[in-house]
Amino acid sequence: MKAIVAVDLNWGIGYKGNLLKRISPDMKRFKEITINKVVVMGRKTFESLPKKEPLKDRVNIVLSKSGSINHEKVIVCRSLNQLFNELLKYNTDNVFLMGGESVYELLLPYCTEAYVTKIKNTYTADKYFVNLDENDSWKLIDKSDLQIYDDVEFYYTKYAK
Ligand SMILES: NC(=O)c1ccc[n+]([C@@H]2O[C@H](COP(=O)([O-])OP(=O)(O)OC[C@H]3O[C@@H](n4cnc5c(N)ncnc54)[C@H](OP(=O)(O)O)[C@@H]3O)[C@@H](O)[C@H]2O)c1
């Protein structure tokens, strides 16, 4: 399993149920990386998707203990056990963990790689990702040139465990 996330300089990822910043080339890249693959997310992240619709051309798996999600294209897992059973159907390299905070925290121990878009800014945040730079299990293995879009500077980075 691989994590995919956009963080600010404090490793913040969200505020009041939303992303800190929408960067359209990063969204496009997210789509390119995850297209035709499996995405795993928490119920709150699912509900933050445009029109609360699953992502197109991907297998959408949502973790929720009790939420009522009735969409024919969403696979709802009520526990980690159920999730792991479901994931047996897929090649682990094709499974992307896409948030939010609680689900990243829960499943990062099962990830081998993390695609981290690092935004060179700080925002007010109430949700965070683990600081991989301060975690001995993780190593930065790739970093793009500086990207600039709409006055926002950011890097695409990749970490491996
Ligand atoms: N920057 C990024 O790349 C990025 C990516 C994704 C999300 N985000 C941000 O992250 C924030 C959302 O994060 P969050 O932590 O509040 O919510 P979340 O992780 O998206 O969803 C939390 C929900 O997941 C379900 N869940 C968690 N653990 C579970 C388990 N063991 N078994 C079954 N269900 C489980 C529960 O749903 P029920 O309550 O239904 O039981 C829980 O309330 C938002 O601000 C969002 O914009 C940022």
Q: How confident is the prediction along the chain (161 residues), in pLDDT tens digits per residue?
A: 999 999 999 999 999 999 999 999 999 999 999 999 999 999 999 999 999 999 999 999 999 999 899 899 999 999 999 999 999 999 999 999 999 999 999 999 999 999 999 999 999 999 999 999 999 999 999 999 999 999 999 999 999 99
Query: Cα of 64 to ligand 1 centre, how many Å?
Result: 9
Spatial distance between the Cα atoms of 151 and 58, rounded to a whole number of angstroms: 31
Spatial distance between the Cα atoms of 156 and 26, rounded to a whole number of angstroms: 9
- Predicted confidence at residue 70, as pLDDT, reads 87
Domain membership of residue 95 as a residue range: 2-160
Pocket test for ligand 1, best of 31, 52, 63 (most atoms within 8 A of CB): 63
Structural domains in the chain (count)? 1
Bond preceding residue 14 cis, omega within 30 of 0: no
Question: How many CB atoms are closer than 10 A to CB 155?
Answer: 15
CATH number at residue 80: 3.40.430.10
